[in-house]
A and B are shown apart, each in its own frame.
Chain A
């Protein structure tokens, strides 16, 4: 079993739609959580950190459920420019070992 699992998608949604991705992690010692975004054939970039109480950044909302060991990312009012692969990242034992999921691909269509 992979340490960080994501639905690979693709998710194909129309502009303006709300879409949610889930990510599950297997190591209960995981301490920190992040969502990264990776455009096609580009490098990953940090989208947002995920805090225990949940957090929002504009149209993006991240949630953490430690008991069930999953994190989620909600995107409201999808834009064409949101088309990308979203990577779930988990830090184990609060050190430098950051484990990446394989990513969920999102395509937003006109």
Chain B
């Protein structure tokens, strides 16, 4: 089972460049989300989606865009990369009930992004 697949695993950007982190899941989960993980800090929610066509902001949405055109895919776009966006990014999905995830998040392997 593939589960949650993220690409790329590693990326180096220059300040001001844009890029898209891809996330796909094959578990038919309605809920998908993006987190970033920085040293000494917990994972922080960037954006999430409770179904195709529905997205919402998390704790740290600035500088990031998302869209959800299919149940399977939830790409994260960095509009104009900044050094503060250097981080490890995790995509996570979950079953959901009435628009709420179950609490059991299935994470991808992570994407390590460095912005110079």
Residue positions of A touching B, CB distance < 8 A: 2, 4, 8, 32, 34, 36, 42-46, 49, 87, 89, 91, 94-103
Contacts and interface: CB of A to CB of B under 8 A. Distances in A.
Interface in B26-64: 31, 33, 35, 40-45, 48, 50, 56, 58-59
Contact of B42 (A43, A45, A97, A102): A102
A43 B31 contact: no
5 contacts: A46-B104, A46-B105, A96-B48, A96-B50, A97-B59
Contacts of B107: 43-45
B90 interface: yes
B14 interface: no
A42 B9 CA distance: 12
Contacts of A2: 42
Contacts of A98: 45, 101, 103, 105
A100 B41 CA distance: 8
B108 interface: yes
A97 B58 contact: yes
